Structure 1
Amino acid sequence: MTLPVNAEDNTKQSDNNTRLYVEAYGFFPLETHSKTTLNNNITSETLDLNDVLDMLTGVFSGKVAVEKGRFGLQAGLDHLSFRTSEMVSSWQSSNPIQNESHPRLPQRRINSEGSIKSVTDTEQTLFDLALRYRGGAIQKPRMTPGAVSFVGFAGMRLIDASLDMDVSFKDDVTVEGILPSHKLRREIESEASETWHNTWVQPLIGMNTTVALGEDWQAFLAMDAGGFGLNGKHDLSGTIEAGLAYALGNSAQISLAYRYFEIEYSAHNGRNGYSSTQNGVSMGFCWLFD
């Protein structure tokens, strides 16, 4: 005779199973503030969503997590590339050119005025890898109303970033009050244009909490932080996200959230780096395989 398995035994067996979570999402920043520093030359911009979409050249965002029992491993990948362009009326740059015909242009920082165009190509890739531990209920698209699940994680964030700034001077540009020749102007443009690339690793901590509002509806809060100033003069990244999720059957759900993201990095000498803050709407799809 087969004995019935009670609900507590079913819960224990389910809790010891292996689960795979796969998530893809899109972030639509309503406002972006950015500052780029290359060889001490600084450009700052504030962009709305239309500007970001116009300048976007590549994007990918996704996460995957494996959980067995209460312990697991998770990874995330965020890639973003975009091009910004602006016209400025003044520019400062260090000039390495020895100008015998222009003694007023020595090897020092020089000031330029006129119609100056700055085009910056930015690429940023964040790869997260962390160990995780779950407390409370198993996270599923459908949960018992009132159930709470908490996941804490710690690991590393690998950041690969590159900046390429191209500066071009128009015919009305003067340098220290002097109208330069075409040859000298090209030399100063070449010196003012900069390329910077860096790859570094940040320590990473974070958490996410899910509360079942009903069988199909969930509210969630997620936060992470990395860097803490360990790999540069400034080195910090972080995300805060809060939203709602709705079940699409037993194995999938869709989510809508508000997200705030910030990253700031500058080298120890302070000559190169960038910072960006973004806030806006995030939409995601998550699948559970168990």
Structure 2
Amino acid sequence: MTDLPPVVAAPNSNWAATAEFYALIPWADSNTTVKGFDAVTTLNPSEIFGEQLQSAFAMRASVEYKRVGLLADVSYSQLGAQQSFNTSSELLSGNSTVSSINGIYDFALRYRFGSREAAVGVPGEFSLIPYAGVRVVEAQLVVEAQLQNPRQFVKQGKLSRTWAEPLIGLQGSVFLAPRLRAFGRFDLAGFGLAGEQDLTGNAQLGFGYAVGNNTSLNISMRYFGQTWNNGARLDNGYTSHQYGPEVAVKFFF
């Protein structure tokens, strides 16, 4: 007897919501500039999670009425003093450290084409959701460099800034099997409006597998990039590239 796919009941409410808790497991390359002084940092996941990470929180959520809705994506991390490198001089050894707090807070209006988002569906069923809103970026970075003699680290400067920038994006998913779906996301924000350089963006592709009628385990590959610089003579700014797997659990209501 042929197994039939599960019957998905039609939603009996105009309202729907999702909540997703996630963790990015990244390789991270960054360049931090304070008062014209550059510090270059390269970290792998074992260094981040084994030595540097002090606190972190990440969650996405959405709510919609019929096809129109709101979404939010909140990500916060705090890293301790990360070993970095700088161009040495007569006074400096070439070794430096960067301590960082980084928060990314997205809030946007969205519209859905296709079927309502769900953990279980019919193969070929899809949703496509463009969105637009605001991204709030919080950056606090402290740079210290090691003197040649005596061998001690001295604070070179601090970058502390929070700003808002326009955000546009697109996310979508398609069912490959009743409990298996492919999904993707792409967004850009900034467009040079909050500094001489100002741009952030995400690119993400992955798969979700339903472990219940309303719960999905997701795994994906994600890239997240940031660049900001004030363009002053002794400039402040930073560039960051994070890339690696992201794991998540997503609930559908």
* TM-score between the two structures when normalised by the length of structure 2: 0.89
Alignment of structure 1 residues 38-49 onto 2, 5 Å = 38-49=34-45
For residues 44 and 214 of structure 1, do their structure 2 counterparts lie closer, same or farther at Cα, with a shift above 3 Å needed? same
Which secondary structure does the structure 1 equivalent of 2:112 belong to? strand
The offset of 1:286, in angstroms, is: 0.6
Question: Percent identity at matched positions?
Answer: 29
8 Å CA contact 2:138–2:163 kept in 1: the answer is yes
Alignment of structure 1 residues 117-196 onto 2, 5 Å = 117-171=95-149, 193-196=156-159
Work out which of the residue numbers 212, 229, 247 in structure 2 matches 1:266. Answer: 229
The offset of 1:52, in angstroms, is: 2.1
Is 1:32–2:28 an aligned residue pair? yes
The offset of 1:74, in angstroms, is: 0.8
Question: Which of the two has greater helix per residue?
Answer: 1
8 Å CA contact 1:15–1:69 kept in 2: the answer is no
Query: Aligned equivalents of 1:277 and 1:89: distance in 2?
Result: 21
The offset of 1:87, in angstroms, is: 6.0
8 Å CA contact 2:39–2:97 kept in 1: the answer is no
8 Å CA contact 1:146–1:212 kept in 2: the answer is yes
- Per-residue CA deviations over 1:248-287 (Å, capped at 9, x if unaligned) read 1111110010001101111131610111111100001111
The one-letter code of the counterpart of 1:22 is A
Query: Aligned equivalents of 2:128 and 2:12: distance in 1?
Result: 14
- Per-residue CA deviations over 1:69-117 (Å, capped at 9, x if unaligned) read 00001111000121312466714xxxxxxxxxxxxxxxxxxx525x354
Work out which of the residue numbers 58, 69, 76 in structure 2 matches 1:79. Answer: 76
Query: Aligned equivalents of 2:59 and 2:84: distance in 1?
Result: 31
For residues 211 and 24 of structure 1, do their structure 2 counterparts lie closer, same or farther at Cα, with a shift above 3 Å needed? same
For residues 266 and 88 of structure 1, do their structure 2 counterparts lie closer, same or farther at Cα, with a shift above 3 Å needed? closer
Alignment of structure 1 residues 187-266 onto 2, 5 Å = 193-266=156-229
- Per-residue CA deviations over 1:178-228 (Å, capped at 9, x if unaligned) read xxxxxxxx9xx76x5211201111100111111000110000111111001
Query: Aligned equivalents of 2:230 and 2:12: distance in 1?
Result: 46
For residues 214 and 127 of structure 1, do their structure 2 counterparts lie closer, same or farther at Cα, with a shift above 3 Å needed? same
For residues 87 and 32 of structure 1, do their structure 2 counterparts lie closer, same or farther at Cα, with a shift above 3 Å needed? closer
Which secondary structure does the structure 1 equivalent of 2:122 belong to? coil
Query: Aligned equivalents of 1:170 and 1:55: distance in 2?
Result: 25
8 Å CA contact 1:15–1:70 kept in 2: the answer is no
* TM-score between the two structures when normalised by the length of structure 1: 0.78
Which secondary structure does the structure 1 equivalent of 2:248 belong to? strand
The one-letter code of the counterpart of 1:67 is E
Which secondary structure does the structure 1 equivalent of 2:123 belong to? coil
Gaps of 5+ in 1: 1-9, 92-110, 174-185
The offset of 1:15, in angstroms, is: 7.5
Which secondary structure does the structure 2 equivalent of 1:149 belong to? strand
Query: Aligned equivalents of 1:89 and 1:147: distance in 2?
Result: 54
Query: Aligned equivalents of 2:149 and 2:42: distance in 1?
Result: 28
Query: Aligned equivalents of 1:86 and 1:213: distance in 2?
Result: 44
Work out which of the residue numbers 102, 112, 122 in structure 1 matches 2:91. Answer: 112
Query: Aligned equivalents of 2:166 and 2:84: distance in 1?
Result: 35
The one-letter code of the counterpart of 1:164 is V
Paired residues in the alignment total 243
Moved >3 Å (runs of 4+): 86-89
Q: Quick check: which has more Rg, 1 or 2?
A: 1
Partner of 2:249: 285
Question: Which of the two has greater strand per residue?
Answer: 2
For residues 88 and 277 of structure 1, do their structure 2 counterparts lie closer, same or farther at Cα, with a shift above 3 Å needed? closer
